[in-house]
Amino acid sequence: MSLVERIEILQGTLDLIVLRALATMGPQHAYGLAARLEQVAEHPLMLNQGTLYPALVRLEQNGWIKGSWQKTENNRDAKYYAITRAGTRALEKQTDRWHRLAGLVNKLLVDEQ
Where do contacts with other proteins occur on this chain (CB under 8 A)?
3, 29-32, 35, 45, 48-51, 53-55, 57-58, 61-63, 72, 74, 76-79
What is the rounded distance in angstroms from the CA atom of residue 80 to the CA atom of residue 91?
A: 19
Of 20 and 32, CB closest to other proteins: 32
Identify the CA nearest to 23 among candidates 81, 68, 99, 70. Answer: 81
Instruction: Output the smallest distance, CB 32 to other proteins, in A.
Output: 8
Give the shortest CB-89-to-other proteins separation in angstroms: 14
- Output b/e per residue, 35-56; b: 16+ Cβ within 10 A: ebbeeeeeeeeebeeeebeebb
Between CA 18 and CA 64 the distance in angstroms is 11
CA distance 64 to 43: 27
> CB-wise, 49 or 106, nearer to other proteins?
49
The least CB distance from residue 51 to other proteins, in Å, is 7
**Residue with Cβ nearer other proteins (43 or 99):** 43
Q: Which is nearer to other proteins, 25 or 104 (CB)?
A: 25
